[in-house]
Amino acid sequence: MDYPSTKWRLIGCFSFELFTKKKETSYRMNPKFQKNLQQYLTHGGTLPREPMPPNVTVRLPTLEDLEVYAHQQWECFLLQLINSSQAERLTSFSSSTMRVFQRGLLSSRENEAPKLTENGFQFLLMDTNAQLWYIIREYISTSEDRGVDPTDLISFLLELSFHTLGEAYNLNTLTDVQRNAIKDLADLGLVKLQQGRKESWFIPTKLATNLSVSLTDSSSRKEGFVVVETNFRMYAYSTSRLHSEILRLFSRIEYQLPNLIVGAITKESLYNAFENGITAEQIVSFLQQNAHPRVAEKIPTVPENVTDQIRLWETDRNRVEMIPSHLYEDFPSKDLFEACCDFAREYNCLLWEDSKKMRLIVRGEFHQQMRDFLRRPKQ
């Protein structure tokens, strides 16, 4: 490849050095070395896994069918997360696998149904790619508890992300660790498992190939479906039950048609969302990222009066801060009162003082230290 006003110089056998007129230096990796390095990182120096020949596999799903399958599996997982007792059991999640995937997202007490944690509510408003990386991170971090080396699991996931979308790969080429992992990933929709007469194989979906995509890459995001009006009414053009459940987290659903969800963003619905740990910025970001194509190109995509009011309602709720504290009064002398104030002020625990009536309030966690100070013999 030729560039005007540039010089190329080979550095070893790995890269080229590029000199420009501005005397700035940049580097570009040798294409052959780049390809070999990628293969080594993803396959550990071994030959890459090759797709199965077409004469062995039969009736492979189309890319459209594969995307529908991945979407259904992922949606089912999220529905089980929102309401595990009512979600349809469309997948074969084992209880142990679900505990791994839901770690940190659900909390449960004895004789009580699992409930979404603050992280769980925030997780549901994330982009699909960010959700996927959260689950994969938890899956890797708990691998040692299942007797699996995290290095082996990371290596396999990295390799899987570079597999060709829609191609079939033989299950017999996998190790025991990889075969167990592929079953868990199939439940999430990252791969689709198929059985032939003699051979069985797995087919990577777009969720698997997106593991190598940056979280900020918008090319993998789906088309939006939400329209918000200046009167706080919201129209969601979707047939997805998941979308309906997510919108209920911060809005009041008024009625639902086969392909349309109509609701409103109210002060009460937002207060419920704030109580569950969802922030105003997360709600605004969700509405912006999932804006319907008809409004996605407008600036702003969500009316400013709506976004401003969402933030104001959050601020209004946070005007009062609750701090556990202790009140001290009836001091026998002015000197003891001032000594206590200085002692609390030294540890940055003094919240309020009234020098005339000799009263002070300190943080609750400082109560024991204050009692010990008062019990000291006074000189």
Residue 236 confidence (pLDDT): 96
- Confidence category of residue 210, pLDDT binned at 50, 70, 90: confident
Of 168-177, 212-221, 345-354, the least confident: 212-221
Average pLDDT, the chain: 83
Q: Is the residue at 69 inside a domain?
A: yes
Handedness of CA 161, 163, 168, 174 (dihedral sign): negative
Q: Is the residue at 331 inside a domain?
A: yes
Q: Does pLDDT of 311 surpass 90?
A: yes
Whether residue 311 sits in one domain with residue 239 = yes
**SS3 of 298, please?**
coil
Whether residue 204 sits in one domain with residue 92 = yes
Whether residue 145 sits in one domain with residue 128 = yes
CATH (domain of 347):
3.30.70.2610
**Model confidence pLDDT, tens digit, residues 31-51:** 877 777 776 666 555 556 788
Q: Is the residue at 126 inside a domain?
A: yes
Whether residue 210 sits in one domain with residue 157 = yes
Domain that holds residue 351: 325-375
Whether residue 270 sits in one domain with residue 160 = no
Alpha-carbon radius of gyration of the chain: 29
Whether residue 206 sits in one domain with residue 230 = no
Query: What is the rounded distance in angstroms from the CA atom of residue 125 to the CA atom of residue 120?
Result: 9
Whether residue 154 sits in one domain with residue 31 = no
Q: Which residue has the higher pLDDT, 19 or 304?
A: 304
Whether residue 331 sits in one domain with residue 312 = no
Whether residue 237 sits in one domain with residue 204 = no
Give burial (CB, 10 Å; 0-12/13-18/19+) of 139. Answer: buried
Residue 220: phi, psi to the nearest 5?
-90, 0
Q: Which residue has the higher pLDDT, 35 or 138?
A: 138
Q: Is the residue at 52 inside a domain?
A: no
Task: Take residue 307 and report the two structure tokens written for it.
Answer: 């976004």
**Model confidence pLDDT, tens digit, residues 50-66:** 888 877 777 889 999 99
Q: Does pLDDT of 5 surpass 50?
A: no
Residue 1 confidence (pLDDT): 43
- Confidence category of residue 372, pLDDT binned at 50, 70, 90: confident
Residues in the chain: 379
Residue 59 confidence (pLDDT): 82
Q: Is the residue at 167 inside a domain?
A: yes
Whether residue 71 sits in one domain with residue 210 = yes
Whether residue 208 sits in one domain with residue 70 = yes
How many domains are there within the chain?
A: 4
**Model confidence pLDDT, tens digit, residues 243-280:** 999 999 999 999 999 999 999 999 999 999 999 889 99
Q: Is the residue at 56 inside a domain?
A: no
Q: Does pLDDT of 17 surpass 60?
A: no
Of the candidates 291, 318, 345, which is a domain's last residue?
318
Q: Is the residue at 51 inside a domain?
A: no
Residue 272 confidence (pLDDT): 93
For residue 288, CA distances in Å to 44, 295, 297, 313 come to 41, 10, 10, 18
- Confidence category of residue 7, pLDDT binned at 50, 70, 90: very low
- Confidence category of residue 10, pLDDT binned at 50, 70, 90: very low
Whether residue 203 sits in one domain with residue 177 = yes
Residue 18: phi, psi to the nearest 5?
-110, 125
Sequence-ordered list of residues with C-beta below 8 angstroms from that of 363, at least 6 positions apart, any chain: 323, 324, 325, 326, 349, 351
Q: Does pLDDT of 285 surpass 60?
A: yes
If one counts every other C-beta atom within 10 angstroms of the C-beta of residue 269, the result is 19
Query: What is the rounded distance in angstroms from the CA atom of residue 70 to the CA atom of residue 222?
Result: 13
Residue 372: phi, psi to the nearest 5?
-65, -40
Handedness of CA 194, 223, 159, 50 (dihedral sign): positive
Q: Is the residue at 141 inside a domain?
A: yes
